[in-house]
């Protein structure tokens, strides 16, 4: 089920239709509110009509890149990545479930979120692990947390140094990338974070640990930035030195998440932990869990690239007959409510368009929604039910026309 495989998940037709129906409203919002004159307005005399490229598209790119695999010691993983509303895809990733050699039981995963282009993110995704391994401090039978932490920091700094050299030589424009990575040994989980991407560990159904986002407005980060002149690389305004944390592994470890801020700006640690915990009980394919998280973030309003890696330990939640039954009951309830709303709108002589149905349903009390996900997490089910009702209505109308 979770053997190594790469590919892309095809976007459902009803999601394409949803985008088609909403793109005009979103496009109008973007074009009218980001640096240009509103429709019908003209620049004042003498002003230059400066055109600022919009960082957003008129419609999101919804095709998903997926990847999955497993290790011989029982870890399974899946990646999901989508361009979304952004004009360019600037996310990259690493999924190395087994490092090989003396580190055959070690794993490395990372998410890179590029800024001002994707060059830095792509370069770091290709060289960070190699630079980390060439420090030589990971080799040997011992799993020494202090040595591993030193190796991680040294690998990050070397990658940044080499990146700057290549950028000057190749004439690359200014850019950068966040990095959130995890190195998993037989005994420890190492977290390395540089920027505002984030890692989170779920243990016994609860958030056990998460990395700290490096946002410019955070007090410690603001202090470091303001005092960065003439300092060492780790003290510079944009520091390449990661914050490294280590946790001892536990049999209660369930899953670990690495994701860019396209996820974390929309959903909290606790919400995502609860949502994934629930989805693992009703989904047989880990790629589907990642896809549902991506869709959830999109429907909650994420305008960024969205990338997420979910790593499941042997103690992760398994399929549950009770959870599957509850899921089926929920979807039956949603389908019946969509039908009721559709018929009510028709009876009042109103056009039962998709957005009207979604609006009415969002104000309804729906028991049994996935924890952490809410009504947005079942939006695909709702959209599918809507188009089913539209087909039924079309069939009834056509039948009546034939009878007449």
Check whether 29 has a pLDDT greater than 80. no
**What DSSP letter does each residue of 213-232 carry, written as one string?**
P--TTSHHHHHHHHT-TT--
**Mean pLDDT, residues 278-306 taken together:** 97
For residue 55, what pLDDT is reported?
A: 86
Q: What percent of the chain stands above pLDDT 90?
A: 66
Please, what CATH class does the domain formed by 5-15+55-312 belong to? alpha beta
State the CATH architecture for 321-403.
Orthogonal Bundle (1.10)
Q: How far is CA 332 from CA 359, 366, 382, in A?
A: 19, 12, 10
pLDDT the model gives residue 394: 79
Residue 138 pLDDT class (50, 70, 90 cuts): confident
The answer to whether the CB of 285 falls within 8 A of the CB of 312 is no
Is 321-403 the same fold as 5-15+55-312? no
Cα–Cα nearest to 1, from 281, 247, 286: 286
Mean pLDDT for 310-337 is 97
- What is the C-alpha separation between 312 and 80, in angstroms, rounded? 14
Between CA 178 and CA 180 the distance in angstroms is 7
173 vs 336, higher pLDDT: 336
On whether the CB atoms of residues 90 and 100 are closer than 8 A, the answer is no
pLDDT tens, 220-240?
443 433 343 545 555 454 578
Q: Which of 13-27, 282-296, 303-317 has the lowest mean pLDDT?
A: 13-27
Give the pLDDT score at 244: 96
Backbone angles phi, psi at 80, to 5 degrees: -135, 135
**What is the pTM (predicted TM-score) of this model?**
0.83
SS (H, E, C) 261-284: HHHHCCCCHHHHHHHHHHHCCCCC
CB-based contacts of 28: which residues, under 8 Å, 6+ apart?
A: 39
Place of tokens 């349903």: 361
Domain ranges of the chain: 5-15+55-312, 321-403
DSSP code per residue over 280-332 = TTT-S-HHHHHHHHHHHHHHTT--S-EEEEEEE-TTS----HHHHHHHHHHHH
Rounded to the nearest 5 degrees, what angle is found at the Cα of 6, between the Cα atoms of 88 and 273? 75
């Amino acid at each position: 089920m979770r053997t190594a495989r790469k590919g892309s998940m095809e976007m459902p037709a009803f999601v394409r239709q949803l985008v088609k129906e909403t793109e005009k409203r979103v496009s109008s919002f973007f074009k009218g509110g980001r640096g240009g004159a509103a429709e019908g307005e003209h620049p004042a005399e003498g002003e230059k009509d400066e055109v600022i490229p919009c960082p957003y598209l008129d419609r999101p790119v919804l095709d998903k890149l997926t990847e999955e695999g497993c290790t011989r010691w029982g870890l399974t993983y899946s990646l999901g990545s989508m361009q979304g509303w952004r004009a360019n895809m600037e996310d990259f990733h690493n999924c190395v479930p087994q490092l090989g050699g003396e580190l055959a039981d070690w794993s490395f995963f990372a998410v890179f979120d590029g800024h001002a282009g994707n060059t830095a993110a792509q370069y770091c995704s290709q060289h960070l692990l190699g630079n980390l391994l060439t420090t030589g401090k990971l080799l040997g039978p011992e799993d020494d947390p202090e040595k591993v932490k030193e190796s991680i920091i040294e690998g990050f700094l070397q990658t940044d140094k080499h990146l700057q050299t290549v950028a000057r030589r190749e004439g690359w424009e200014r850019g950068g990338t966040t990095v959130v990575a995890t190195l998993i040994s037989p005994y420890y989980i190492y977290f390395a974070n540089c920027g505002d991407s984030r890692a989170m560990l779920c243990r016994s159904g609860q958030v056990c640990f998460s990395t700290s986002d490096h946002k410019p407005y955070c007090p410690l980060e603001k202090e470091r930035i303001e005092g960065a002149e003439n300092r060492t690389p780790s003290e510079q305004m944009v520091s390449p030195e990661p914050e490294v944390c280590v946790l001892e592994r536990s049999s209660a470890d369930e899953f670990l998440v690495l994701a860019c801020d396209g996820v974390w700006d929309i959903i909290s640690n606790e919400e995502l932990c609860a949502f994934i915990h629930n989805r693992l009980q009703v989904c047989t394919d880990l790629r589907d869990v990642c896809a549902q998280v991506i869709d959830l973030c999109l429907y909650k309003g994420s305008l960024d690239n969205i990338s997420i890696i979910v790593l499941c330990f042997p103690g992760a939640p398994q399929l549950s007959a009770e959870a599957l039954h509850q899921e089926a009951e929920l979807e039956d309830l949603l389908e019946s409510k969509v039908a009721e709303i559709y018929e009510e709108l028709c009876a009042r002589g109103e056009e039962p368009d998709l957005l009207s149905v979604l609006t009415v349903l969002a104000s309804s009390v729906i028991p049994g929604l996935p924890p952490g996900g809410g009504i947005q997490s079942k939006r695909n089910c709702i959209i599918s039910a809507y188009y089913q009702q539209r087909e039924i209505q079309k069939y009834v109308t056509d039948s009546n026309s034939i009878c007449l």
